[in-house]
Amino acid sequence: MAEAGRVVIIGWDCAPPQLVLDQWLDDMPNLKQLVEGGAAGRIRSTDPPITVPAWTSMLTSVNPGQLGFFGFRNRRVGEYDSKWIANNTAVNFPRAWDILGDAGKRCCMVNVPQTYPVKPVNGILVSSFLTPDTTCEYTYPAGLGKQLDAIADGYMIDVDEFRTDDKRDLLERIYLMTDKRFKVSKALMQVDEWDFFMMVEMGPDRLEHGFWKYCDPEHPKYEPGNEFETAMLDYYVHLDEQLGEFIALAGDDAAVFVVSDHGGKAMQGSFCINDWLIEQGLLTLNQPVDGITRFEADMVDWEHTTAWSWGGYYGRLFINVEGREPQGTVPKADYESVRDDLIARIEAIADPEGRMMDSRVLRPQDIYTGEHVDEAPDLMIYLDDLNWRLGQDVGNEGLYAFDTEIGPDDSVHDYHGMIAARLPGERQLTIGPDTHVMDVAPTVLEVLGEPIPEHMEGRSLL
């Protein structure tokens, strides 16, 4: 069997299979051709299904309990108010491109999440959305930024403040960013010799959070005939045109993967988890707050608090454990019974109409392996099958909100992203119900004829 000469991965952050593969494929001829000439389907994201850790789990084939981060914001165990950001310095496992680079293969990466600050690669790296701005050193080799600015007439890493009400402006900026990234990626693809080329576009994620309600008749805030009715489809058609150019530039000997890190779907609302904990008598504030207030550690009466939470597309629940937290109240001996009680209470949360939600509360020890499992939140909350996000602000009127504490947002994440891949020659990938983002790195290595490290064994899709 001939090995593929080269591999290209095009990442569409947040691309949802139910739209891209099931509804819109006929409008995306280049993706359709890839699907028909190769294999495609759903790909299970990490737990939690969010950008950090999903892309890094995809490229290292290790789970968040091994990686040691559970979002881009992370808590230091035993501290009430510390947060650290999981950027590239937090990634201590080799990604597929590190393994390929060690084997002498040239790799070019553009905008893959968690690549700032840049580390040396055997090739070129342009970092991604946790880069403060383009005045920082965000390329390897250093100093490429000027060339990228010249190619793209000012390179853009991300759209600032995508949770905004100025939708026309947001849409314009998303297209601008996508086109600049595409220009830069095309140029690098043409000037550099490469065996592995990967680019990730954040536009789909920003678009879906900003525009889902305009495009999905099932969304609670949808209004028929609005001016952005086709904004999501139009953008994916645009991405598909770029995909066609990419595939043509990559050449016939390249294996091509289009993949997303997780899916997306309509947000039903935001549940005020800390207000709920207060109501349950599990969280006590030093004094009542006046109106919606950002939750901060220094407003908590820790000696009378059992648990507190961080919000987001999944909820992170922390227990105030004696001997672990500075003013812990829950004896270690009671830890499991307190967790069980919290799980039962959260799984009994009903929606605003009083209907049962389909919620899942996970113990990290049940889903992860690795030395960092105990750095995970004590419980991870998927409220109503992820249809509801969790809001951490306190002082809300009632427990159900429909805007987030960080601005308007219309969509949540979903467990499954999409994958479509075509290999040259006769080879085919097997994509099935168990296909997981952690299967991507070993597949790439095998396609390129490199040995698969022990920890990735059994995961290749070939």
Binding residue for Zn ion, selected from 51, 57, 139, 178, defined by CB under 5 A: 51
Question: Cis ω on the peptide bond leading into residue 64 (within 30° of 0)?
Answer: no
Nearer CB in complex with Zn ion: 264/442: 264
Nearer CB in complex with Zn ion: 55/276: 55
CA separation for the pair 305, 291 (Å, rounded): 21
**If binding is defined by CB under 5 A, does position 393 make contact with Zn ion?**
no
Identify residue 134 by its one-letter amino acid code. Answer: T
The interface region with Zn ion, picked from 44-52, 76-84, 127-135, 229-237 by CB under 5 A, is 44-52
Nearer CB in complex with Zn ion: 51/127: 51
Nearer CB in complex with Zn ion: 10/321: 10
The interface region with Zn ion, picked from 10-18, 129-137, 161-169, 355-363 by CB under 5 A, is 10-18
Residue 137 CB coordination number (10 Å): 15
- With CB under 5 A, what is the number of residues at the site for Zn ion? 4
**If binding is defined by CB under 5 A, does position 158 make contact with Zn ion?**
no
**If binding is defined by CB under 5 A, does position 201 make contact with Zn ion?**
no
**If binding is defined by CB under 5 A, does position 409 make contact with Zn ion?**
no
The interface region with Zn ion, picked from 12-20, 87-95, 214-222, 431-439 by CB under 5 A, is 12-20
**If binding is defined by CB under 5 A, does position 378 make contact with Zn ion?**
no
Nearer CB in complex with Zn ion: 48/123: 48
Residues 6 or more apart whose CB falls under 8 angstroms from that of 398 comprise 272
The interface region with Zn ion, picked from 46-54, 373-381, 416-424, 445-453 by CB under 5 A, is 46-54
**If binding is defined by CB under 5 A, does position 414 make contact with Zn ion?**
no
Nearer CB in complex with Zn ion: 436/455: 436
Nearer CB in complex with Zn ion: 50/99: 50
To Zn ion, the closest distance from the beta carbon of 378 in angstroms equals 24
**If binding is defined by CB under 5 A, does position 216 make contact with Zn ion?**
no
Nearest to 422 by CA among 49, 120, 1, 10: 10
CA separation for the pair 448, 78 (Å, rounded): 44
To Zn ion, the closest distance from the beta carbon of 262 in angstroms equals 5
To Zn ion, the closest distance from the beta carbon of 363 in angstroms equals 24
**If binding is defined by CB under 5 A, does position 30 make contact with Zn ion?**
no
Nearer CB in complex with Zn ion: 13/414: 13
To Zn ion, the closest distance from the beta carbon of 146 in angstroms equals 29
| Contact pattern from residue 252 through residue 291 relative to Zn ion, giving x for each residue in contact according to CB under 5 A and a dash for the rest | ---------x------------------------------
Nearer CB in complex with Zn ion: 14/272: 14
Nearer CB in complex with Zn ion: 51/57: 51
Binding residue for Zn ion, selected from 7, 10, 11, 13, defined by CB under 5 A: 13
To Zn ion, the closest distance from the beta carbon of 5 in angstroms equals 29
Nearer CB in complex with Zn ion: 13/195: 13
To Zn ion, the closest distance from the beta carbon of 399 in angstroms equals 27
Instruction: Report the residue closest to Zn ion, judged by CB.
Output: 51
To Zn ion, the closest distance from the beta carbon of 248 in angstroms equals 27
SS3 sequence, the chain?
A: CCCCCEEEEEEECCCCHHHHCCCCHHHCHHHHHHHHHCEEEEEECCCCCCHHHHHHHHHHCCCHHHHCCCCCEEECCCCCCCEEECCHHHCCCCCHHHHHHHCCCCEEEECCCCCCCCCCCCEEEECCCCCCCCCCCCEECCCCHHHHHHHHCCCCCCCCCCCCCCHHHHHHHHHHHHHHHHHHHHHHHHHCCCCEEEEEECHHHHHHHHHHHHHCCCCCCCCCCCCCCCHHHHHHHHHHHHHHHHHHHHCCCEEEEEECCCEEEECCEEEEHHHHHHHCCCCCECCCCCCCECCCHHHECHHHCCEEEECECCEEEEECEECCECCCCECHHHHHHHHHHHHHHHHCCECCCCCECCCEEECHHHHCCCCCHHHCCCEEEEHHHHCEEEECCECCCCCEECCECCECCCEEEECEEEEEEECCCCCCCCCCCCCEHHHHHHHHHHHCCCCCCHHHCCCCCC
For Zn ion, the binding residues (CB under 5 A) are 13-14, 51, 261
